[in-house]
Amino acid sequence: MNDMYAQRRLRLADHLGAGVAVLATAPEAVRNRDSHYPYRYDSYFYYLTGFVEPEAVLVLVGGVAPKGLLFCRARDPEREVWDGYRHGPQGAQEKFGFDAAYPIAELDARLPELLADQPRLAYAVGHDAAWDARVLGWLNAVRAKARSGVAAPQEIVDVRLWLDDLRLIKDAHELAVMQRAADISSDAHRRAMRAAHPGRYEYEIEAELLHAFVSAGARQPAYTSIVAGGAHACVLHYVENNAPLKDGDLLLIDAGGELDGYASDITRTFPVNGRFSGPQKAVYEIVLEAQARAIAAVQPGALWNAPHEAALAVLTQGLKDLGILQGELSGLLEQEAYKPYYMHRTGHWLGLDVHDAGEYKRAGAWRELVPGMVLTVEPGLYLRPSESLPQPYWNIGIRIEDDVAVTAGGQHVLTSPPKTVVDIEAWMRG
């Protein structure tokens, strides 16, 4: 495992060349008074280190023989009684395979020495104003030695530009973790479907999801779960999750667990009472077909936008068939007539972050899909009450989302909760 992180550092060193890269993990966040939010490390830092303690910084010194140096908290028996075990520099070096490790308290003293006479400095430029000021302090300390012939880095690069490309292509280990995260989350959605019925509250169903995540080892949700009954499903980021579920309404659940840092992201929409009404089924079948076409468009060599375009064609034609839109399909697509009912993209990169690292365009052109990329495919329709919308369709909000890996032969869908009308109704009947 340590070799995996070391290899990633070497790949970054290839981009860096001669120079120094500095990456800090995330700070702890205070929830209130002396209580903290559950700690979550920085994804870039974790990708290169596997180290999960707070107050840690990776320094990568490039060149012919790159070196990975870790700065972390020193051992502290008293604090460890309260907060738990710390590796300390020596333990971290031995367990995680760094070339050297130092107490985090020595960072400001050692960095000017490491930056001296280096041509390039790479870090997350502009990510944090306090960190920018700290970096400037190191550079000024080096510049203060100019009369002694010491030079500061002349080039500053945003290290995320390289890391985004590295993180975008998942290796076999990452894909295996993401598959397990998807399996756990798929089971959670199945559990939620079985638990839903009229009279229960949205938060009760959220609790079923959290139970399934944690009991299978995904200790945290990858993002705040959306459990949206009825009209709430037409609010894209609804997270209050505090309303009762009503007979005849649909329930939209957008939820995924995080396992070993990697996210899953699934959306299913189903009837609270286990039976789709005629209008609900009609809209649902349109979204399901849009998703099927979009998933089929996920192919190596295809452009990033291909799944979105495939989904748009089906959704717009479906709205036309329902009588909600009028006109020729090509004109409706050109006018973006679907926008009142479908206002988001059809997917995003997925990995250590829910909206994962990686550009969608390069030099103004959509990026090509290649094996190892993982993305979501999530078309939807959101029919809010309006004079132009037939009343039987009011407050129908539907989204269907799966996690899809690009493979050499096409694509592999990682997620698996029921999603056809027949399968959903059968599963909910038990």
Look at residue 261 in the predicted model and tell me its pLDDT. Answer: 98
Look at residue 2 in the predicted model and tell me its pLDDT. Answer: 79
Active-site choice (75, 275, 348, 367) = 348
Active-site choice (355, 359, 362, 423) = 355
Beta bridge partners of 201: 244
Assign 214 a pLDDT band (cuts: 50, 70, 90): very high
Look at residue 273 in the predicted model and tell me its pLDDT. Answer: 98
Active site residue 348: yes
Look at residue 224 in the predicted model and tell me its pLDDT. Answer: 98
Look at residue 34 in the predicted model and tell me its pLDDT. Answer: 85
Closest CA to 48 of 79, 16, 90, 84: 16
Active-site choice (183, 260, 353, 401) = 401
Look at residue 430 in the predicted model and tell me its pLDDT. Answer: 87
pLDDT in tens, 215-230: 999 999 999 999 999 9
- DSSP state at residue 128: -
Active site residue 158: no
Active site residue 265: yes
Spans of all domains in the chain: 2-167, 169-429
Active-site choice (167, 180, 268, 399) = 399
Active site residue 127: no
Active site residue 403: no
How many Å apart are CA 18 and CA 22, to the nearest integer? 13
Please give the sequence-ordered ranges of beta strands (E in DSSP) within 159-288, or none if there are none.
Answer: 220-221, 226-229, 250-255, 257-259, 262-263, 266-271
| Average per-residue pLDDT for the chain | 97
pLDDT in tens, 138-178: 999 999 999 999 999 999 999 999 999 999 999 999 999 99
Cα Rg, the chain, nearest whole Å: 25
Active site residue 254: yes
* pLDDT at residue 328 greater than cutoff 80: yes
Q: What is the DSSP string of 166-188?
A: HHHS--HHHHHHHHHHHHHHHHH
Active site residue 328: no
Task: Find out whether 214 and 206 touch, Cβ atoms under 8 Å.
Answer: no
pLDDT in tens, 29-73: 999 988 999 999 999 999 999 999 999 999 999 999 999 999 999
Look at residue 322 in the predicted model and tell me its pLDDT. Answer: 97
pLDDT in tens, 339-388: 999 999 999 999 999 999 999 999 999 999 999 999 999 999 999 999 98
Active site residue 342: no
pLDDT in tens, 1-12: 679 999 999 999
How many Å apart are CA 147 and CA 152, to the nearest integer? 12
Active site residue 401: yes
How many Å apart are CA 30 and CA 50, to the nearest integer? 24
- DSSP state at residue 392: G
The secondary element (H helix, E strand) that includes residue 411 is strand 410-413
Please compute the mean of the pLDDT values over residues 388-405 and round it to a whole number.
97
Active site residue 355: yes
* Backbone region of residue 36 per phi and psi (left: phi > 0; alpha: psi in -120 to 50; beta: other values): beta
Active-site choice (208, 353, 378, 403) = 378
Please compute the mean of the pLDDT values over residues 89-103 and round it to a whole number.
96
User: What CATH code would you report for 169-429?
Assistant: 3.90.230.10
Active site residue 155: no
* pLDDT at residue 203 greater than cutoff 90: yes
Q: Does the domain formed by 2-167 have CATH 3.40.350.10? A: yes
Please compute the mean of the pLDDT values over residues 69-80 and round it to a whole number.
96
How many Å apart are CA 159 and CA 161, to the nearest integer? 5
Active-site choice (382, 393, 402, 403) = 382
* pLDDT at residue 325 greater than cutoff 90: yes
How many Å apart are CA 268 and CA 419, to the nearest integer? 7
Active-site choice (265, 353, 356, 403) = 265
Active-site choice (206, 254, 258, 402) = 254
Please compute the mean of the pLDDT values over residues 71-83 and round it to a whole number.
96
Active-site choice (33, 237, 328, 334) = 237
